[in-house]
């Protein structure tokens, strides 16, 4: 059927939301009614989401988000896919839209200068420039920009502590980047707060750079937070950066260890993947809780009791009643 293909949307928007729970319920209902799946975080500081759906459903979803004046400036990174990238919809309220130790920072008031992909490409190789990856270890070990400076971090919360290692670079142009741009909003703002004067960020992140600038000089693949796990972004000079966690051969095939008590995300080649049934080691393969391996290396996250349909009938009923009253 014409135009019956799926889209994957990656987006964020820093904007004040007063009643986060009320908006969560409204947003959640829209997703259910339009078969949108994925993970969406709502907080007092804004929205952050990665979702998938049929093309026409995703177009309705983008229009819905942007119809709210608070989120009219939302920049969606749109990728085509042959199926849903998620199995369920989760819309949650949290204190921050990206977990950090920088809750005091409002990127709408202060952040690094935004560079569109082509501008980033033109600037990144200049002599006085440092390209700074603000992502976690498992992400930059799979792929990063050529000559990028990486930080030894298990998660973004460690960023403020790691900035202490960058004091000697305060006289340089600092170009920050991440997957979709959201971490850079706060990371670049924090660098400015700490006395770095010439700070930039790649607007739209690695994903947008691949779409608009061909991904040139991005080595390896980009880790993504859906069931693809890793995507290629470089159409100009692609390479494989990572090696198989088990046998050491070149591999950019990302796997979430089948042992849920381990759960690490590492590159594992296809042969080792099947041999260890998706586990990262012999001990994980023999673990009694090991999950069945289907070759993808992706497992739905533990929902911790979250019910995506909780309150759906009540919300839908209220919506219908309001529609009747307004006729």
Residues 6 or more apart from 255 whose CB is under 8 A from it?
229, 245, 265, 266, 267, 268, 273, 278, 280, 297
Pairing state between β 6-14 and 77-81:
antiparallel
CA pair distance 218, 235, nearest whole angstrom: 9
DSSP state of 290: P
- Cα 219 from Cα 319, distance rounded (Å): 49
**Interatomic CA distance for residues 322 and 327, integer angstroms:** 9
CA angle 157, 98, 156 (to 5 degrees): 25
DSSP H or E run through 213: helix 205-213
178 in catalytic set: yes
Helices marked H in the chain: 20-33, 55-67, 117-123, 137-140, 159-162, 182-193, 205-213, 270-275, 282-285, 312-325
Q: Which residues pair with 267 in a beta bridge?
A: 254
200: β partners:
113, 175
Cβ atoms of residues 20 and 43 within 8 Å: yes
Q: Which residue among 13, 31, 58, 178 is the active-site one?
A: 178
- In a 13 Å sphere around the CA of 228, the CA atoms on its Cβ side amount to 21
Catalytic residues: 178
């Amino acid at each position: 059927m014409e135009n019956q293909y799926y889209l994957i949307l990656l987006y964020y928007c820093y904007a004040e939301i007063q009643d986060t729970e009320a908006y969560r319920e409204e947003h959640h209902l829209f997703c259910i009614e339009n078969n949108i799946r994925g993970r969406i975080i709502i907080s007092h500081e804004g929205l952050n989401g990665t979702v998938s759906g049929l093309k026409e459903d995703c177009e309705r979803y983008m229009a819905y988000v942007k119809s709210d004046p608070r989120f009219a400036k939302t920049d969606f990174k749109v990728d085509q896919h042959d199926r849903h990238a998620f199995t369920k919809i989760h819309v949650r309220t949290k204190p921050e839209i990206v977990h950090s130790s920088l809750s005091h920072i409002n990127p709408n008031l202060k952040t690094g200068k935004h560079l569109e992909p082509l501008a980033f490409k033109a600037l990144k190789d200049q002599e006085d420039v440092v390209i700074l990856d603000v992502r976690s270890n498992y992400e930059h070990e799979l792929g990063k920009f050529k000559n990028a400076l990486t930080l030894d971090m298990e998660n973004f919360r460690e960023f403020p502590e790691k900035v202490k290692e960058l004091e000697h670079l305060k006289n340089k142009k600092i170009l920050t980047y991440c997957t979709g741009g959201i971490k850079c909003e706060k990371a670049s703002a924090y660098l400015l707060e700490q006395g770095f004067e010439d700070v930039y960020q790649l607007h739209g992140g690695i994903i947008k750079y691949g779409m608009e600038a061909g991904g040139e000089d991005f080595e390896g693949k980009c880790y993504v937070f859906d069931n693809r796990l890793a995507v290629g972004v470089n159409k100009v000079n692609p390479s494989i950066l990572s090696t198989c966690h088990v046998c050491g051969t070149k591999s950019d095939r990302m796997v979430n260890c089948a042992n849920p008590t381990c759960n690490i995300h590492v590159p594992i080649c296809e042969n080792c993947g099947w041999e260890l049934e998706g586990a990262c080691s012999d001990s994980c393969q023999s673990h009694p809780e090991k999950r069945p391996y289907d070759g993808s290396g992706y497992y739905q996250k533990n929902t911790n009791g979250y019910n995506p349909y909780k309150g759906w009938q009540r919300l839908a009923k209220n919506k219908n009643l309001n529609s009747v009253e307004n006729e």
